[in-house]
Amino acid sequence: MSTYDVVVVGAGPAGCAAALNVLRLRPSASVLLLDAAAFPRDKTCGDGVAAEVFDLLDELGATGVRTLGVAAPRLRLRTPAGRVVHRTARRPNRVVPRRELDAALVDAAVAAGAQLRRHRVRTVVPRGDRVLVDDVAARVVIGADGANSVVRRALGAPARAAVVDGGGDPRVRPGGRRAGDAVDRVRRRRRPGLRLVVPDRERRRQRRLRRVRRARRREPGVAAGAAGRSAARPGTRPGHAARAPPPTVDRAPVPARRTGAAGR
């Protein structure tokens, strides 16, 4: 049985960055990258890479990534209310297809000294001062195998972390039904989007906010006001109060949780 200093499960951007950083700090380390896919491979993604990311990749030794894709010097944001903001970025971002980005990062990791093996990991079992990853032993295992992480399950963590659905609508509730999907519960339909891993305290705060909103709707004064508005609104049946729209809360974006199993 082969033994490595570090085994990285998942050779996406997170896994390759981890392997590159290990070899930057300790060039003599033996590092194995395991991934079920053969590279180059494509992946559904928005393909946008912020300018600051290339600075980090340069520090890790992946200097050839900076020239991939096409430059995107301007950003355009549209809110659910229809407001549009577009500005020239301080530094141009780039649009790099994942087929090119991931393959370049894998090549950089291999050039730095990592070994790449195509293999779908089934089991991760701690044993003494080693961790058995199927038929490979490792002193350290890094889980970068995505939302359905085998390493996460082996650690006893939940199979799915707390999520906030994307789409930009503050009324969309947490809890997508499938990795890669964002469920717009206002319009009752699925749409593709990103899912952000958020701290548990933020999830609890959102639940408290929803309970406060529901309690306010049940208050007599609020119910009477809603009934009065529905009576004055054409097309509303008598005795049926129109539901008031939920209040909009402006808050800063929630920082992503740092976990041992990073998304690919």
> At residue 256, does pLDDT exceed 80?
no
Domain containing residue 41: CATH number = 3.50.50.60
- Rounded to an integer, what distance in angstroms lies between the CA atom of residue 168 and that of residue 170? 6
Same domain assignment for residues 28 and 84: yes
pLDDT category at 222 given cuts 50, 70, 90 is low
Would you say residue 248 lies in a domain?
Answer: no
Spell out the residues 6+ positions from residue 232 whose beta carbon is closer than 8 angstroms to its own.
none
Q: Angle at which helices 220-232 and 200-218 pack, to 10 degrees? A: 70
Spell out the residues 6+ positions from residue 225 whose beta carbon is closer than 8 angstroms to its own.
none
Q: What was the pLDDT predicted at 221?
A: 62
Same domain assignment for residues 141 and 170: no
In this predicted model, which residue has the larger pLDDT, 227 or 82?
A: 82
Would you say residue 232 lies in a domain?
Answer: no
pLDDT, tens digit, for every residue of 157-167? 765 544 433 33
Structural domains of the chain, count? 2
Tokens of 74: 């301007």
pLDDT category at 168 given cuts 50, 70, 90 is very low
Domain span at 138: 2-154
Same domain assignment for residues 60 and 173: no
Would you say residue 231 lies in a domain?
Answer: no
Residues 191 and 168: beta-carbon distance below 8 Å: no
Would you say residue 217 lies in a domain?
Answer: no
Same domain assignment for residues 176 and 61: no
Same domain assignment for residues 69 and 24: yes
Residues 211 and 246: beta-carbon distance below 8 Å: no
Task: Give the residue-averaged pLDDT of 71-99.
Answer: 89
> At residue 16, does pLDDT exceed 50?
yes
Alpha helices in the chain (DSSP H): 13-25, 51-60, 98-112, 150-154, 200-218, 220-232
pLDDT category at 234 given cuts 50, 70, 90 is low
> At residue 251, does pLDDT exceed 70?
no
